């Protein structure tokens, strides 16, 4: 790929060049008086960018897409998507732009993308974004990254000096642009859009682009597109298992917010669980609980099924489809192909359950400090039974999910007073506790995988309210705490505690 190297940054145009039907050439609005609010220096260095140059006036203009290296070709990407189950045929970057791709020193290709950079041909509202939600995306993404969960990441948030109006606030809010990086911004919705055009060559080009970018080992395979589907199924299964293990509720798992890379994207209405509850929903608009915590694996599979449908025309004909020999005898070759493609797609989708279960089981073994216990001694069926009993108690007594696993590590050291204190008077953990203790759990290993600090909802709200008023100190302190999630620093004990009893239920908002 040609990557122009000019000034502080070099931006490739692979997406714009290879998939012109999926992008509208566009430019970001130029704010009068931009101010860099947050710069992710570790990420900048990982990408081979010089933080000092990025902080300069020219660097900020580069971040905003106002000054571009030669050869850059920013595009607003188009995609479709099922939003809360209803199909929207044309969504796309309404307030976002793909500036281009950066080749990191380690060889990775990374998208540089803006959110809040002005209305595009796909705009559904003003095209802008407010400081609070953009800093929120920065904070949540960095917390997820620190927890080892694949995610898009913020490189910077730049205040624009422009006010944005939102329904829920009387006054104009300060505007901002989020500068985001990602393995790519290819979404299930991108494939739905390509399929809907009826242009099979485009669908094939998109699939080949995704393979080259994310699963290059598949490229030479005769059934590479089926391989793509299986690889995305597996990546999403692992991703959603990691969300479940850490108590993350994405909140808006539309197909346009489901990546092909298996990275978490779109931190609009997400939140971490306080009390463990499979029915937990935080989003103001998720009235039916479609995207509740416990529904996430099923929704991921639903979204992947939409990807499978989009890919059907590329799936193997009878001669190469594994296990589809019966349909080869069907008289009509068209329907023979479609039957074998469906069989192949179903087979790929059936990989979701085992991949999810494997990721969840090994993650839960690690959380319980029993990763070293041989599976023959403590099989998965026993793990599932023990976890169900344990999590059932958390749900029944509304016990804080994150704190529970940290005090369980104390219990592994024989100090069980704090564990018992999480239970209501007169109640005690059930038989699972002695069964677990009998496995000699490793307390130190538990403390390496169970976070003590997560971006708790009440802390995030307080930090963002202050940032909206111009005081970034709470945001910076919380960012520092959540990016070191396994250690509790002196003086920061409040970060480890749930919201005070009697706090209002937490509510999150989309598209702000
Ligand atoms: N303020 C806005 N102006 C124009 N379009 C918007 C605005 N907010 C959201 N949209 C569009 O509405 C759709 C859904 O938006 P959503 O809340 O999922 O966030 P998003 O802007 O799409 O972020 P992401 O790129 O992280 O998915 C998208 O097509 C988006 O571009
Ligand atoms: Mg979105």
pLDDT per position as a tens digit, 43-94: 999 999 999 999 999 999 999 999 999 999 999 999 999 999 999 999 999 9
Does 257 count as an annotated binding residue? Answer: yes
ipTM of the complex: 0.98
pLDDT tens digits for 442-468?
999 999 999 999 999 999 999 999 999
Closest CA to 130 of 116, 151, 144, 117: 116
Does 95 count as an annotated binding residue? Answer: yes
Q: Which residue among the candidates 256, 274, 277, 286 is catalytic per the annotation?
A: 256
Cα distances from 507 to residues 448, 502, 503, in angstroms, run 30, 15, 12
Closest ligand 1 atom to the C-alpha of 137?
Answer: 26
Cα distances from 448 to residues 92, 131, 214, in angstroms, run 39, 33, 29
Per-residue pLDDT at 256: 98
What is the mean predicted confidence (pLDDT) over 384-400?
Answer: 98
pLDDT tens digits for 153-181?
999 999 999 999 987 778 899 999 999 99
Cα distances from 320 to residues 205, 216, 295, 339, in angstroms, run 21, 20, 35, 13
Per-residue pLDDT at 60: 97
Per-residue pLDDT at 511: 62
pLDDT band at 4 (very low <50, low <70, confident <90, very high): very low
Cα distances from 57 to residues 6, 8, 163, 378, in angstroms, run 16, 12, 21, 59
Closest CA to 310 of 258, 250, 235, 263: 258
Please enumerate in sequence order all residues whose Cβ is within 8 A of that of 270, keeping only pairs 6 or more positions apart, or say none. Answer: 140, 248, 249, 250, 251, 252, 282, 508
Q: Residue 127 C-alpha to ligand 1 middle, in angstroms?
A: 8
Q: What whole-number percentage of the chain has pLDDT above 70?
A: 95
Q: How far is CA 176 from the centre of its chain?
A: 21
For the packed helices 380-396 and 352-367, what is the interaxial angle rounded to 10 degrees?
70
Q: Residue 257 C-alpha to ligand 1 middle, in angstroms?
A: 10
Does residue 92 contact residue 6 with C-beta atoms inside 8 Å? no
Question: Which residues approach ligand 1 with their CB closer than 6 A?
Answer: 91-96, 115, 119, 122-128, 257, 265-266, 268, 510-511
Q: Residue 267 C-alpha to ligand 2 middle, in angstroms?
A: 8
Q: Residue 40 C-alpha to ligand 1 middle, in angstroms?
A: 23
- Residue nearest to ligand 1 atom 9, measured at CA: 511
Q: Tell me the C-alpha distance between 322 and 335, whole Å.
A: 17
CA of 166, nearest ligand number:
1
Does 92 count as an annotated binding residue? Answer: yes
Q: Is 437 helix (H, G, I), strand (E, B) or coil?
A: helix
- In the chain, DSSP finds a helix count (H) and a strand count (E) of 18, 11
- Whether the pLDDT of residue 6 is over 50: the answer is no
pLDDT tens digits for 494-506?
999 988 877 767 7
Quickly list DSSP for 116-150.
Answer: SS---TT-SS-S--BHHHHHHHHHHHHHHHHTT--
Q: Tell me the C-alpha distance between 72 and 61, whole Å.
A: 14
Closest CA to 176 of 10, 23, 28: 28
- Residue nearest to ligand 1 atom 25, measured at CA: 266
256 is catalytic: yes
Does 332 count as an annotated binding residue? Answer: no
């Amino acid at each position: 790929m040609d990557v122009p190297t000019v000034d502080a940054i070099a931006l490739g145009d692979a997406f714009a060049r290879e998939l012109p039907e999926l992008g509208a050439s566009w430019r970001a609005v130029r704010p009068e008086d931009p101010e860099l609010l947050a710069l992710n220096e570790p990420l900048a260095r990982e990408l081979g960018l010089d933080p000092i140059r990025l902080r300069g006036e020219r660097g900020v203009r580069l971040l905003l897409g106002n000054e571009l290296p030669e050869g850059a070709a920013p595009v607003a990407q188009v995609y479709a998507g099922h939003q809360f189950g209803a199909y929207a045929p044309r969504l796309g970057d309404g307030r976002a732009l793909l500036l281009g791709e950066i080749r990191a020193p380690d060889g990775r290709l990374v998208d540089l993308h803006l959110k809040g950079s002005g209305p595009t041909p796909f705009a559904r509202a003003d095209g802008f974004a407010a400081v609070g939600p953009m800093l929120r995306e920065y904070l949540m993404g960095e917390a997820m990254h620190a927890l080892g969960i694949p995610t898009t990441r913020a490189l910077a948030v730049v205040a624009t000096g422009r006010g944005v109006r939102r329904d829920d606030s009387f006054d104009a809010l300060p505007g901002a642009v989020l500068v985001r990086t990602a393995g790519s911004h290819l979404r299930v919705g991108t494939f739905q859009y390509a399929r809907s055009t009826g242009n099979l060559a485009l669908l094939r080009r998109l699939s080949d682009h995704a393979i080259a970018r994310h699963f290059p080992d598949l490229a030479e395979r005769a059934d590479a597109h089926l391989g793509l589907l299986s690889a995305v199924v597996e990546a999403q299964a692992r991703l959603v298992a990691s969300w479940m293990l850490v108590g993350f509720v994405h909140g808006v798992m539309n197909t346009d917010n489901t990546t092909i890379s298996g990275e978490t994207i779109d931190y609009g209405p997400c939140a971490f669980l306080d009390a463990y509850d499979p029915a937990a929903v935080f989003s103001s608009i998720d009235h039916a609980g479609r995207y509740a915590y416990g529904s996430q694996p099923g929704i991921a599979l639903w979204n992947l099924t939409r990807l499978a449908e989009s890919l059907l025309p590329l799936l193997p004909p009878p001669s190469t489809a594994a296990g589809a020999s019966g349909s080869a005898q069907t008289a009509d070759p068209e329907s023979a192909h479609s039957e074998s493609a469906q069989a192949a797609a179903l087979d790929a989708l059936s990989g979701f359950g085992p991949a999810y279960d494997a990721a969840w089981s090994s993650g839960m073994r690690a959380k319980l400090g029993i990763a070293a216990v041989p599976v023959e001694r403590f099989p998965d069926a026993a793990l599932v039974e023990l976890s169900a009993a344990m999590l059932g108690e958390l749900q029944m007594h509304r016990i804080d999910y994150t704190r529970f696993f940290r005090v369980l590590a104390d219990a592994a050291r024989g100090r069980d007073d704090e564990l018992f204190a999480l239970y209501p008077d007169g109640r005690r953990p059930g038989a699972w506790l002695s069964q677990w203790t009998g496995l000699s759990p490793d307390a130190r290993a538990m403390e390496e995988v169970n976070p003590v600090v997560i971006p708790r909802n009440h802390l995030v709200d307080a930090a963002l309210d202050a940032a909206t008023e111009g005081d970034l100190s709470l945001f910076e302190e919380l960012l520092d705490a959540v990016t070191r999630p396994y250690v509790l620093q002196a003086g920061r004990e409040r970060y480890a505690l749930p919201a005070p009893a009697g706090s209002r239920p937490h509510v999150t908002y989309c598209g702000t």
